[in-house]
Amino acid sequence: MLFIRNNIWLAFYVFLLAGFASFIFILTKTHESIRQDVQLEQENLTRITSNSVEASLRQYETLLDILGQELLHEAKFLDRDKAIQEIDKLLNASHTTHNLFLIDLDGNIVATNSLSQDKRESSLNLLQNPKAKESFSLTLDSNAAVIGRTYFSYWESALIIPIRKTIRNRDGQPLFVVSLTINIEKGLPFFSKNVEHSADYSVFIYRERDRYFQVAPKRLINDPAVYEHQFSEERIQESIDYVEKAYNTSFEVIKDKQIITTHVTGKFNDDSQSMMSNFYIKEFQLWVGIERDTQVIRKKFFQVAANLSLVFFFAYAVIFWLFRVISNNEKKKEELLTYRATHDFLTNLPNRYFLDNYFSKLEEQDSYHLLFVDMDNFKSANDNFGHDYGDQVLIEITRRLKLSIQKSECLIARYSGDEFVVAAFNLSSFEAERLAQTILEEISKPYLMSGNRLSISASIGISHCPTDASSFEEVKRLSDFALYEAKQNKNCYAIFHEELKKRYLDDQSLENKLRDAIKNDEISVVFQPQISSAGVLSGFESLVRWYSEELGSIPPNRFIPIAEYSGLMPELGRHIIRKSLDEASKVAPDSFSLSINVSIKQFFSDGFVEYFLQQANQSKIAKSRLKIEITESLFIQDLDYVLGMINQFKAEGISVSLDDFGTGYSSLSLLKDLPIDELKIDKSFVDDIVEDKDARLLLQGIINIAHKMGITIIAEGVETQEQKQILDGLGCEVFQGYYFYKPMPINDVIKEFN
Cα 603 to chain centroid distance, Å, stands at 24
Q: Measuring CA to CA, which residue among 65, 58, 54, 97 is closest to residue 177?
A: 65
- Cβ count within 10 A of residue 313: 12
- On whether residue 501 sits in a domain, the answer given is no
Q: Which CATH number covers residue 444?
A: 3.30.70.270
On the question of pLDDT at 2 being above 50, the answer is: no
Phi, psi (degrees; rounded to nearest 5) at 211:
65, 35
What is the chain's length? 754
CB 412 within 8 A of CB 420: yes
Average pLDDT of the chain is 83
Domains identified in the chain, total number? 4
18 shares its domain with 67: no
329 shares its domain with 461: no
- On whether residue 134 sits in a domain, the answer given is yes
On the question of pLDDT at 5 being above 50, the answer is: no
How far is residue 425's CA from residue 579's CA, in Å, rounded to a whole number?
A: 57
Domain boundary among 316, 342, 368: 342
704 shares its domain with 626: yes
Residue 186: what residue type? K
The stretch 453-480 carries a mean pLDDT of: 87
421 shares its domain with 472: yes
Q: Measuring CA to CA, which residue among 487, 547, 556, 483 is closest to residue 517?
A: 547
Predicted confidence at residue 322, as pLDDT, reads: 59
Q: Measuring CA to CA, which residue among 564, 595, 563 is closest to residue 581?
A: 595
- Indicate if the alpha-carbon torsion angle 551, 553, 557, 559 is positive or negative: positive
Helices (H), 520-638: 556-566, 569-584, 600-603, 608-618
The stretch 415-438 carries a mean pLDDT of: 90
- On whether residue 503 sits in a domain, the answer given is no
Helices (H), 365-463: 379-385, 387-404, 429-443
The stretch 401-423 carries a mean pLDDT of: 88
The domain in which residue 253 lies consists of 31-305
- On whether residue 502 sits in a domain, the answer given is no
94 shares its domain with 226: yes
On the question of pLDDT at 638 being above 70, the answer is: no
On the question of pLDDT at 318 being above 90, the answer is: no
On the question of pLDDT at 8 being above 50, the answer is: no
Phi, psi (degrees; rounded to nearest 5) at 714:
-125, 135
**E-assigned strands of 60-157?**
99-103, 109-112, 146-147, 151-153
Predicted confidence at residue 6, as pLDDT, reads: 47
605 shares its domain with 640: yes
In DSSP terms, which residues pair with 532 in a beta bridge? 734
Q: Please write the tens of the pLDDT for every residue from 106-141.
A: 999 999 988 764 544 556 788 888 888 888 999 999
On the question of pLDDT at 195 being above 80, the answer is: no
How far is residue 576's CA from residue 38's CA, in Å, rounded to a whole number?
A: 67
Split at pLDDT 50, 70, 90, the class of 18 is confident
10 shares its domain with 80: no
Q: 523 or 193: which carries more pLDDT confidence?
A: 523
Q: Measuring CA to CA, which residue among 604, 605, 665 is closest to residue 631?
A: 665
- On whether residue 55 sits in a domain, the answer given is yes
For the chain, percent of residues with pLDDT exceeding 70: 89
Predicted confidence at residue 11, as pLDDT, reads: 46
CB 702 within 8 A of CB 736: no
Predicted confidence at residue 658, as pLDDT, reads: 87
The stretch 171-183 carries a mean pLDDT of: 91
Split at pLDDT 50, 70, 90, the class of 369 is very high
The stretch 448-467 carries a mean pLDDT of: 85
640 shares its domain with 683: yes
Q: Measuring CA to CA, which residue among 212, 164, 238, 331 is closest to residue 204?
A: 212
- Cβ count within 10 A of residue 539: 25
617 shares its domain with 537: yes
Predicted confidence at residue 3, as pLDDT, reads: 46
CB 501 within 8 A of CB 478: yes
517 shares its domain with 373: no
Split at pLDDT 50, 70, 90, the class of 734 is very high
Predicted confidence at residue 614, as pLDDT, reads: 92
Q: Which CATH number covers residue 244?
A: 3.30.450.20
The stretch 556-562 carries a mean pLDDT of: 83
Phi, psi (degrees; rounded to nearest 5) at 650:
-65, -35
The stretch 310-333 carries a mean pLDDT of: 67
Domain boundary among 496, 522, 556: 496
Split at pLDDT 50, 70, 90, the class of 4 is very low
Lowest mean pLDDT among 78-82, 312-316, 369-373, 603-607: 312-316
Predicted confidence at residue 324, as pLDDT, reads: 61
Split at pLDDT 50, 70, 90, the class of 579 is very high
- On whether residue 207 sits in a domain, the answer given is yes
CB 500 within 8 A of CB 485: yes
The stretch 286-302 carries a mean pLDDT of: 83
How far is residue 349's CA from residue 515's CA, in Å, rounded to a whole number?
A: 44
- On whether residue 569 sits in a domain, the answer given is yes
The stretch 181-196 carries a mean pLDDT of: 70
Q: 16 or 244: which carries more pLDDT confidence?
A: 244
417 shares its domain with 372: yes
Helices (H), 520-550: none
DSSP 588: -
Q: 637 or 442: which carries more pLDDT confidence?
A: 442
- On whether residue 347 sits in a domain, the answer given is no
Q: Please write the tens of the pLDDT for every residue from 652-710.
A: 999 998 887 765 445 566 667 778 889 888 888 888 888 888 888 888 888 888 888 88
For the chain, percent of residues with pLDDT exceeding 90: 21
In DSSP terms, which residues pair with 562 in a beta bridge? none
Q: Please write the tens of the pLDDT for every residue from 59-75.
A: 999 999 999 999 998 88
Q: Which CATH number covers residue 709?
A: 3.20.20.450
The stretch 602-617 carries a mean pLDDT of: 88
335 shares its domain with 262: no
In DSSP terms, which residues pair with 160 in a beta bridge? 151, 183
**E-assigned strands of 151-284?**
151-153, 158-168, 174-183, 201-207, 213-215, 261-266, 273-281
Give the number of C-alpha atoms closer than 13 A to the C-alpha of residue 563, restricted to the C-beta side.
30
On the question of pLDDT at 197 being above 50, the answer is: no
Q: Is the pTM of this model over 0.85?
A: no
Angle (deg, nearest 10), helices 472-487 and 498-519 = 70
